[in-house]
């Protein structure tokens, strides 16, 4: 189905278990290998948990956006206002079987719209594992630029996964959000 058949809404507490399952399925485990966003060769364990998702939903200036198609969950992401008129983007997931179909592109555009129009943010930032070259390139095609700023991976905190490599770190990407 085309991305135009998507609807978007803000997640509620009742949606949190489905968001956790979606994020896990897109990034970790053998099932994630069916999509191109898998981190299965880089990290084991969990990608998120119920407490984190519930916290994101509850936090002031923070939303978890859901993309739905025919009543089913087609994708999710998190957008949060941060200092300096910027928003942070994360927790981005589309089920492996639905990847490469435009859902991610449409969901990212909706997140940018929320940041720009609803919150008046002038930029969106995110962090991506810098060894995820294909993913970095995908964001660059959508107007994000690599800043060269890196942040450490939280080694030793299994809440974010169990690293299979010792060279993991995040790179900060940013995009100016121009008014439409």
Instruction: Tell me the CA distances in angstroms from 132 to 3, 27, 109, one per residue in order.
Output: 25, 12, 21
- The Cα 78–Cα 66 span in angstroms is 9
pLDDT digit string, tens, across residues 57-86:
999 999 999 999 998 999 999 999 998 789
Residue entry with tokens 């135009």: 4
pTM: 0.92
The answer to whether the beta carbons of residues 95 and 148 sit under 8 Å apart is no
CATH superfamily of 3-176: Gcn5-related N-acetyltransferase (GNAT) (3.40.630.30)
pLDDT band at 1 (very low <50, low <70, confident <90, very high): very low
Adjacent-strand bridge partners of 151: 170
Contact 81, 119 (CB under 8 A): yes
Give the tens place of pLDDT for each residue, 15-53: 999 999 999 988 887 776 777 777 888 999 999 999 999
């Amino acid at each position: 189905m085309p991305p135009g058949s998507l609807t978007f809404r803000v997640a509620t507490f009742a949606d949190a278990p489905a968001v956790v399952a979606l994020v896990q399925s897109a990034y970790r485990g053998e099932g994630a290998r069916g999509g191109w966003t898998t981190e299965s060769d880089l990290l084991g364990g969990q990608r998120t948990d119920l407490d984190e998702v519930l916290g994101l939903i509850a936090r002031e200036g923070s939303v978890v956006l859901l993309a739905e198609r025919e009543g089913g969950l087609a994708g999710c992401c998190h957008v949060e206002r941060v200092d300096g008129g910027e928003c942070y983007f994360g927790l981005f997931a589309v089920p492996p079987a639905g990847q490469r179909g435009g859902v991610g592109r449409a969901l990212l555009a909706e997140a940018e719209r929320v940041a720009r129009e609803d919150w008046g943010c002038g930029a969106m930032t995110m962090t991506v594992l810098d060894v995820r070259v294909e993913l970095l390139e995908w964001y660059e095609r959508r107007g994000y630029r690599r800043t060269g700023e890196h942040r450490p991976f939280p080694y030793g905190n299994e809440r974010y996964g169990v690293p299979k490599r010792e060279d993991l770190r995040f790179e900060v990407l940013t995009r100016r959000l121009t008014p439409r």
